[in-house]
Amino acid sequence: MKPKAKRLYELIHEIYKQPTYPLSQVEKQAFFEAAQKLTNNQERISLIAYRLYLTEEKAAQSHQSYKELQYLKKLLLKYRWKYYLGAVLPSSFIR
């Protein structure tokens, strides 16, 4: 596993296993699926970050006192820009 993927996986695992975080079933399912895809190298990190960001942002907004959720939000923002760049840049040259 690459260092970025390992770092993201460890943070997701830490949040998922934390009993004090009141995560909903939808949030837990999204974290579980992201962790599975990271361990199996099924998708790129940028795509996983893009898909997980909306779920994580809602959790971070509702639980602002949890520093790990805030850190994960920043990390996902950092990783998902590559997906945006790959999706937007080719479309600007089509016209």
CATH classification at residue 46? 1.20.1440.50
Question: Position 40: which residue type?
Answer: N
Task: Kindly report the pTM of this predicted structure.
Answer: 0.79
Structural domain containing residue 65:
3-92
What's the pLDDT score for residue 91?
A: 59
Taking Cα atoms as reference points, which of 58, 71, 70 lies closest to residue 26? 58
Question: Position 83: which residue type?
Answer: Y
Higher pLDDT, 89 or 60: 60
| Average pLDDT value for residue range 69-85 | 84
Taking Cα atoms as reference points, which of 90, 94, 2, 13 lies closest to residue 46? 2
Domain count, the chain: 1
- Which residue in this structure is represented by tokens 């602002």? 64
